[in-house]
Amino acid sequence: MTEDSKIHLADLFSKWGRRLPGLSEEKTEEFQTAVKAGNLSKAISVVKKSDELLRNTELNIAITGESGAGKSSFINAIRSLNDDDPGAAETGVKEMTKKPTRYPHPKHPNVILWDLPGIGTPNYPAKTYSKDVNFDRYDFFIIISAGRFTEADAHLAKEINNMGKKLFFVHSKVDVDLDNEQRKRDFNEEKTLQVMRNDCMEQLRKAGIISPQVFLVSRWHFDKYDSPQLQETLAKELDTHKRHVLICALLRTSEVILKEKQRALQEQIWKQALKSCAIAAVPLPFLSVYCDVSILVDNMTEYCTSFGLDDDSLASLTKQVRKSVFELKSVIKSPLAKAISRDEALKRLREATGERMMTAKYFLSVIPLIGTGIAAERSYNVTYKILHTFLDEVTEDSQRVLRKALEGAEDN
């Protein structure tokens, strides 16, 4: 690169300041130094290592509690599966889990939920439970109870706290409790839910648990009650890479979660644009356009999948709400995941670049130094713009789908 093109390229990243999204301060400094020196291959190397770390980051979530509390059903619900779907955790009225069992998320396999045997069962006594199920393996824990939290739950919570791990309490089958309470003349759902939360927290405080976080959920109404708040809280408690992995896998149960998904994916766009930039710096005709299309297809498909804008996810959503797939699709304006083709990506690339600039880019790409530097910067800006625009479209579509899915829910 020429000195002038080095400066322009460095300006692309100067707005981020001391830390680029998805990179540590140390790696940001290493990246910025490489860009200012015109060492694009070194800058790309830093980004590739970051991407590899992101792809290989696993999040292990332990679901535990007493036998029959609804652990397996919770795991299926948070993975958008019915209890009888292929790959679903086995459920039943008796203890079904004989040993810690891993259940990867069907679309985000780096998110792994572990169904742990019930604490206090003959094979897993409370005293040795943490050792028997290998507590060190898990990033955080969710203790589930269908009724009152017990002494065994409190014992388990203390061990988790002593290890410095994050812990959350879930009171399951809240719909059953509400059905029972509805027989009272002065029934008020919101007040009843608050009484239930307060009662759970009081039980735990008496057992010695400081500031317990309790969430009320229903396996059959997983979009209601405290499920959205639980997922939002889980995401806030994690570091950069694991947080990103979890957010992409979260259910679309609230607009807060949808905005978090958008924000997490936005932070990665500059890396994808940089790949386009690096390819455009290679003086080979048509290579840049071909690779730009591939980058766009891969990322646009990922966005649709993360936001549940694919046929499987929409079909799964219809099982939870009283809406048909046709009704949900009627509010979607952007292409679904399976419709993201190379033709669609090329169309957007031409619209963003313009035919004249596409031709100019072709000729610039074969001019050493100055030409390749300009083409590289142009490729970065166009890819960055297209992905941001498409992500905005997908976010808006997912918000419309959520609103359509929840239409009339308060009356049901």
User: Domain of 165: which CATH number?
Assistant: 3.40.50.300
State the sign of the Cα–Cα–Cα–Cα dihedral 382, 383, 385, 390. positive
In a domain, 31, yes or no: no
Domain boundary among 248, 266, 292: 248
- The domain containing residue 325 runs over which residues? 257-411
Q: Identify whether 19 is part of a domain.
A: no
| 304/209 same-domain check | no
**Res 5: pLDDT:** 43
Same-domain status, 215 and 279? no
Other C-beta atoms closer than 10 Å to the C-beta of 354 total 12
Domain assignment present for residue 23? The answer is no
Question: 394 lies in a domain?
Answer: yes
Tallying the residues shown for the chain, one arrives at 412
Residues 220, 332 within the same domain: no
Q: Are residues 275 and 137 in the same domain?
A: no
Residues 190 and 273 in one domain: no
pLDDT of residue 7: 40
Residue 174, number of CB atoms within 10 A of its CB: 24
Q: Which residues of the chain have pLDDT under 50?
A: 1-8, 282-284, 287, 359-360, 362-364, 366-373, 412
Looking at the structure, tell me whether residues 273 and 241 fall in a common domain.
Answer: no
Check whether residue 208 and residue 76 sit in a common domain: yes
Query: Considering its fold, how many domains does the chain have in total?
Result: 2
Predicted local distance difference test score (pLDDT) of residue 19:
63
User: Per-residue pLDDT tens for 240-286?
Assistant: 788 888 988 888 778 888 998 999 999 888 888 887 776 655 444 55
Does 40 reside within a domain?
no
Query: Is 163 among the domain residues?
Result: yes
- Cα separations (Å) of 218 from 94, 171, 172? 19, 9, 6
**190 and 79 in a common domain:** yes
Same domain? 189 vs 167: yes
* Amino acid 111: pLDDT: 93
pTM: 0.80
pLDDT, residue 209, reads: 85
**Which of 222, 248, 274 is where one domain is finished?**
248
Is residue 268 in a domain?
yes
Q: Where are the alpha helices (DSSP H) in 150-224?
A: 151-162, 174-181, 189-206
Statement to judge: residues 240 and 289 lie in one domain: no
Check if the beta carbon of residue 138 is closer than 8 Å to that of residue 61. Answer: yes
Last residue of a domain, one of 194, 219, 248: 248
Closest by CA position to 40, among listed 5, 77, 67: 5
Same domain, 263 and 234: no
Cα–Cα dist 213/193, whole Å: 15
Q: Helix (H, G, I), strand (E, B), or coil: what is residue 26? A: helix
Residue 25 belongs to a domain: no
> Do 237 and 295 reside in the same domain of the chain?
no
